[in-house]
Amino acid sequence: MDILPALPFIPILEIIGTFVFAISGTLTAADKKLDPFGAGVIAFVTALGGGTLRDLLLNLRPVWIQEEHLLITVLASVVVAVLFRRKIVKFRRTMFLFDTAGIALFTVLGMEKALRVGVSPLIALVMGVVTAVFGGVVRDILCNEIPLIFRKEIYATACLAGGGTYLLMRLAPVPAGIPMGVAILIIILVRLLAVKFKWSFPNLNP
């Protein structure tokens, strides 16, 4: 608990990330013609599913069970998404930027949490990626789709690149905030470039 208090903007970013993920979940649910309850569940798992799986695997009680503000953030975002759906759709580009920032942040926060309960760096990297991407995987399963991330999104790779850098920089004698900032920038950069230049891995059965 030495870094987070020193970086007071992190809880705010975490709430923004949760909010944006939940909005994106609600929009997906609306596309699938779900009702408001279904939309709430999809928003919840999109936003908090990754962190929940991470905490279950680390044998901890998930954060949102202890800190109610994350659940309230999800509820608020569902209301906003339902009321302003038409307007939000026009801001897809902005949404995408927030979403990318959210993934980057969740990767680093997830790794840091895992490292603090004493797992190895490799496992911490896995936990970071789980935190960032697993919510989207469950969202796709609930909506009866093969998860998008398994097919064409490169963003897990962006998380791995940023997360790996974070692990290396953490060994260096620099202030704690610097590896975190650099890792977040790398993840954002890789994903933006991947989308701009349509980078993707070939599928395995060409």
- Taking CA atoms, 197 is separated from 51, 160, 176, 190, in Å, by 30, 19, 33, 10
Closer to its own copies by Cβ: residue 6 or 56: 56
Nearest to 184 by CA among 205, 166, 168, 204: 166
Residues 69 and 18: beta-carbon distance below 8 Å: no
Minimum distance of its own copies from residue 91's CB (angstroms): 18
Minimum distance of its own copies from residue 95's CB (angstroms): 17
CB-facing half-sphere around the CA of 138: CA atoms within 13 A: 21
Closer to its own copies by Cβ: residue 52 or 183: 52
For 171, residues 6+ apart whose C-beta sits below 8 A from its C-beta are none
Closer to its own copies by Cβ: residue 7 or 145: 145
Minimum distance of its own copies from residue 35's CB (angstroms): 4
Closer to its own copies by Cβ: residue 127 or 188: 127
Phi first, then psi, for residue 14 (nearest 5°) are -65, -40
Minimum distance of its own copies from residue 34's CB (angstroms): 5
Q: Which residues bind its own copies (CB under 8 A)?
A: 26, 29-39, 41-42, 52, 56-62, 64-66, 68, 71-72, 82, 85, 119-120, 122-123, 126, 137, 141-147, 149-152, 156-157, 200-205
